[in-house]
Homo-oligomer: A and B are copies of this chain.
């Protein structure tokens, strides 16, 4: 979707992990070469403490490539299995369907709408859902369906069931929590493992939980932060994808911290969404490898 002039031909993107041993790089490189692929990017990481090998390989699949998209997985499995590799393959022209969940604050939502409008989002924004009706009209102007799903502690199970139905029907593969101020339970999280990206408005693990800007103000920190991470059943503890900080001073009250923070949140979330949608994030345990 983005940069059409730079990557005119579709590429395949392979994400691999395996117990480390000599020959892994050679095996994959040889497989791609043998089948007529042309590697355009390859990046590997060896975690020496855990003895693990991780790799992202991107390669062109033009006319010279000998395997169809339906043949590739089978052929790759033959190489990967003896080496105990876990792998996934995606294509640069995949139709990635993205949902955004928001509440009252609009900064992350409008930013993502703006990227969608400018053809900068490497995916298709298929729906926005919210526990508030506030932004229905705005989202509608961008031509995107808006699902108002109000929620109370009592109706949470039903609301989440409705949410899952909406996501499933739209074929969503990535759920972006754009300052969605409700805690999602396992009903949603477990259905989209490593596919729900949340933005937390602090430099985690500092100031997890509620009202991080109030906490930051009380502590008198000289920097505030924002953290994009995959949502898990443990609040604010999922694998971190991206973080950034901004300088603040004693002059900044809670409202100032929040305002400065909104610009941070916006850009940190957008970067994480882009990393995910370009298949650059590999989750291992509670950490990410970001290629």
Find chain B residues with CB under 8 A from A33 CB: 22-23, 25-26
A5–B259 Cα gap in the complex (Å)?
13
Nearest B residue (CB) for A249: B290
CB contact between A117 and one of B45, B106, B288, B290 (< 8 Å): that residue:
B106
| Residue from the list B5, B42, B244 in contact with A255, Cβ < 8 A | B5
CB <8 Å contact, A245 and B223: yes
Task: For chain A, residues 41 to 55, give those with C-beta under 8 angstroms from any C-beta of chain B.
Answer: 41-46, 48-49
CA of A245 to CA of B264, assembled, Å: 14
A178 vs chain B, min Cβ distance (A)? 12
Question: Does residue A203 face the partner (Cβ distance < 8 Å to B)?
Answer: yes
> Which B residues are CB-close (under 8 A) to A105?
118
Partner of A290, one of B106, B240, B250, B290: B250
Q: B45 to A43, Cβ gap below 8 A?
A: no
A243–B249 CA distance with the chains assembled, in angstroms: 11
Per DSSP, chain A at the interface is mixed
User: Which residue of B43, B107, B239 contacts A114 across the interface (Cβ within 8 Å)?
Assistant: B107
Closest to A220 in B: B287
Chain B residues, CB < 8 A from A231: none
Distance in angstroms between the alpha carbons of A263 and B106 in the assembled complex: 17
**Docked-complex contact A250 and B289, CB < 8 angstroms:** yes
Task: Report how many copies the assembly holds.
Answer: 4
Tell whether, in the assembled complex, residue A25 and residue B39 are in contact, meaning their CB atoms are under 8 Å apart: yes
Which parts of A1-45 form the interface with B (CB within 8 Å)? 2-3, 5-6, 22-26, 29-30, 32-34, 36-45
22 contacts between A and B (CB under 8 A): A23-B33, A25-B29, A26-B29, A26-B30, A29-B29, A29-B30, A39-B46, A41-B46, A42-B42, A48-B253, A106-B114, A117-B138, A203-B206, A203-B223, A206-B206, A222-B243, A223-B225, A223-B243, A223-B245, A225-B245, A249-B290, A250-B290
The chain A residues found within 8 Å of chain B, CB to CB, are 2-3, 5-6, 22-26, 29-30, 32-34, 36-46, 48-49, 64, 105-107, 110-111, 113-114, 117-118, 120, 138, 141, 203-207, 219-223, 225, 239-245, 247, 249-251, 253, 255-256, 259, 262-263, 267, 270, 286-290
- List 6 extra interface pairs beyond A6-B255, A25-B39, A221-B240, CB under 8 A: A22-B33, A26-B34, A114-B114, A203-B203, A222-B242, A222-B243
